[in-house]
């Protein structure tokens, strides 16, 4: 059984890893320092349980659940947080988290929770039929078997006849990312988008051919004509990817799985047909989104400011916005917002006699305890001590 710990603070990651490894000798513990790194790990390792911090640089723990649960439906998600606000716990549970643990995390509570989840997972595995087990491992099967099958290589004892029976007539759609930069992240996004669109509606199956190519096998029973499907897919990819990609569809309806390798070779040989959304002013120059985002943040720092919300305000994908922000600002989005709020709080403490609880609320913190912890971490003193040392009176 595999557990993945996702936290951008190394002492939290390593502390959890040591606790779990000492209590559960048979569990394999993996770690990631960001949600983006976790997504890469999920592609390579069949993870059963993810323990993720709710607030990290880049994508948050909740955004990680939202991105991951489409492709990895049987993962048990646990969210960690320094926030005891019911809103955070409610949102975590709504996204699909099994539990919500407050930092500092008690060892006994963590061990009790993992023991219970381990028993549930084992019971689920006992109850799974062969067909359900195949469905559970379908993503990994596609990665290995279909890559070999599409290349015309031997696939050993694996039998795809049941899958072929499900799709007596079909066509293939190939989506190819045309830029090397951040290919892994955008490949995951593409696979996620296409999978949600195709498999959620039982319209076919999706598999990754390589790090830049996704193949959708679309049933002609549910989608008799490819044009409406291609139009819908293109609209979604244009809206979400914000970058160039190629898309091709097999030239004729197919009915024999044995023709898939040659059809894929034919699709690969076709000249590139680049698709890209009509650029807005921001999309023509994505770097120009950052000054706009900064203005937005500075005008709304008192409000709830998720990465996803600010990215949407400048019409960029959240993951791409996160990387672009760090590249242009030299620090992560979360770090920037925290520092801005702390500087504003320090200014209020210096210039007014406002109560500490009101100061916290003015800069976007609903909990005094959390505000005090972050302030102390930033300035090495409490808000009260800072005011005593720097107070200038009412302006």
Check residue 287 and give its pLDDT: 54
Cβ contact 186:151 at 8 Å: no
Omega before residue 51 within 30° of 0, cis: no
What is the residue-averaged pLDDT of the chain?
80
pLDDT winner (highest mean) among 86-95, 206-215, 223-232, 336-345:
336-345
Say how far apart CA 33 and CA 40 lie, in whole Å: 11
Would you put residue 20 in left (φ > 0), alpha (ψ -120 to 50) or beta? alpha
The mean per-residue pLDDT over the stretch 323-335 comes to: 86
Phi and psi (nearest 5°) for 115? Answer: -65, -45
Q: How many CB atoms lie within 10 A of CB 355?
A: 10
pLDDT band for position 378 (50/70/90)? very high
The mean per-residue pLDDT over the stretch 378-385 comes to: 93
CA distances to 35, 132, 313 from 76, in Å: 16, 17, 31
CA distances to 10, 123, 176 from 335, in Å: 16, 42, 34
The mean per-residue pLDDT over the stretch 37-46 comes to: 83
Q: How many CB atoms lie within 10 A of CB 201?
A: 11
Above pLDDT 70, what percent of the chain?
83
pLDDT band for position 312 (50/70/90)? confident
Cβ contact 22:107 at 8 Å: no
Q: Detail the DSSP E strand segments found in the chain.
A: 2-6, 28-32, 49-53, 76-81, 97-102, 170-177, 204-210, 213-219, 245-249, 274-275
The helices-and-strands tally (H runs, E runs) of the chain is 20, 10
Tell me the two tokens of residue 373. Answer: 């912890």
The per-residue pLDDT for range 142-183, each reduced to its tens digit, is: 567 777 877 778 777 777 787 788 889 999 999 888 766 556
pLDDT band for position 284 (50/70/90)? very low
Cβ contact 41:69 at 8 Å: no
Classify strands 76-81 and 49-53 as parallel, antiparallel or unpaired. parallel
pLDDT band for position 31 (50/70/90)? very high
Which has the higher per-residue pLDDT, 77 or 287?
Answer: 77
pLDDT winner (highest mean) among 5-14, 57-66, 243-252:
5-14
The mean per-residue pLDDT over the stretch 282-296 comes to: 66
CA distances to 52, 100, 210 from 369, in Å: 22, 18, 48
Q: How many CB atoms lie within 10 A of CB 295?
A: 12
Give the alpha-carbon dihedral of 288, 292, 294, 296, to 10 degrees. -160
Which domains occur in the chain, in start order?
A: 2-127 (3.40.50.2300), 154-275 (3.30.70.270), 285-390 (1.10.10.60)
Say how far apart CA 117 and CA 134 lie, in whole Å: 22
- 3 has pLDDT over 90: yes
Which has the higher per-residue pLDDT, 311 or 142?
Answer: 311
Closest CA to 52 of 99, 84, 94, 86: 99
Which has the higher per-residue pLDDT, 381 or 151?
Answer: 381
Which has the higher per-residue pLDDT, 42 or 134?
Answer: 42
Say how far apart CA 82 and CA 104 lie, in whole Å: 8
Say how far apart CA 187 and CA 319 lie, in whole Å: 12
Check residue 115 and give its pLDDT: 92
Check residue 158 and give its pLDDT: 72
Q: How many CB atoms lie within 10 A of CB 169?
A: 12
CA distances to 84, 176, 219, 236 from 224, in Å: 51, 23, 8, 20
The per-residue pLDDT for range 207-240, each reduced to its tens digit, is: 888 878 888 888 888 778 888 888 888 887 876 6
Classify strands 170-177 and 245-249 as parallel, antiparallel or unpaired. antiparallel
Say how far apart CA 291 and CA 121 lie, in whole Å: 47
Give the alpha-carbon dihedral of 335, 339, 342, 348, to 10 degrees. -150
Say how far apart CA 116 and CA 226 lie, in whole Å: 47
Q: 3-class SS at 254?
A: strand
- 283 has pLDDT over 50: no
Check residue 123 and give its pLDDT: 77
- 73 has pLDDT over 90: no
Cβ contact 214:194 at 8 Å: yes
Check residue 41 and give its pLDDT: 85
The per-residue pLDDT for range 110-133, each reduced to its tens digit, is: 999 999 998 888 877 666 555 555
């Amino acid at each position: 059984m595999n557990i993945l710990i996702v936290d951008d603070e190394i002492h939290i990651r390593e502390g959890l890893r040591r606790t779990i490894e000492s209590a559960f000798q048979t569990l394999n513990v993996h770690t990631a320092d960001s949600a983006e790194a976790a997504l890469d790990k999920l592609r390579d390792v069949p993870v059963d349980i993810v323990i993720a911090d709710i607030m990290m640089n880049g994508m948050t723990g909740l955004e990680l659940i939202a991105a991951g649960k489409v492709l990895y439906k049987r993962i048990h998600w646990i969210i960690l947080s320094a926030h005891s606000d019911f809103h955070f716990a409610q949102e975590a549970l709504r996204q699909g988290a099994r539990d919500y643990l407050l930092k500092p995390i008690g060892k006994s509570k963590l061990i009790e929770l993992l023991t219970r989840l381990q028993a549930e997972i084992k019971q689920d595995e006992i109850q799974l039929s062969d067909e359900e087990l195949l469905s559970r491992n379908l993503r990994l099967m596609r990665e290995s078997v279909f890559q070999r099958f599409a290349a015309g290589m031997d696939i050993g004892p694996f039998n795809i006849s049941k899958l072929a029976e499900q799709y007596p007539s079909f066509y293939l759609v190939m989506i190819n990312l045309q830029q090397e930069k951040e290919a892994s992240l955008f490949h995951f996004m593409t696979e996620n988008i296409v999978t949600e669109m195709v498999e959620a509606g039982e319209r076919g199956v999706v598999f990754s051919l390589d790090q830049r190519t996704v193949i959708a096998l679309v049933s002609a029973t549910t989608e008799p004509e490819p044009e409406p499907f291609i139009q819908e897919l293109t609209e979604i990819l244009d809206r979400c990817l914000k970058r160039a990609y190629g898309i091709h569809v097999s030239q004729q309806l197919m009915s024999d799985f044995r023709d898939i390798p040659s059809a894929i070779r034919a699709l690969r040989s076709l000249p590139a047909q680049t698709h890209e959304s009509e650029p807005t002013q921001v999309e023509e120059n994505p770097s120009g989104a950052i000054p706009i985002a900064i203005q937005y943040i500075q005008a709304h720092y008192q409000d709830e400011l998720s990465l996803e919300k600010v990215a949407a305000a400048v019409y960029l994908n959240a993951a791409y916005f996160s990387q672009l922000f760090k590249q242009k600002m030299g620090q992560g989005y979360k770090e920037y917002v925290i520092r801005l709020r702390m500087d504003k709080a320090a200014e209020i403490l210096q210039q007014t006699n406002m109560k500490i609880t009101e100061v916290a609320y003015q800069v976007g913190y609903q909990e005094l305890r959390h505000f005090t912890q972050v302030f102390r971490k930033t300035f090495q003193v409490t808000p009260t001590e800072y005011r005593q040392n720097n107070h200038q009176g009412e302006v």
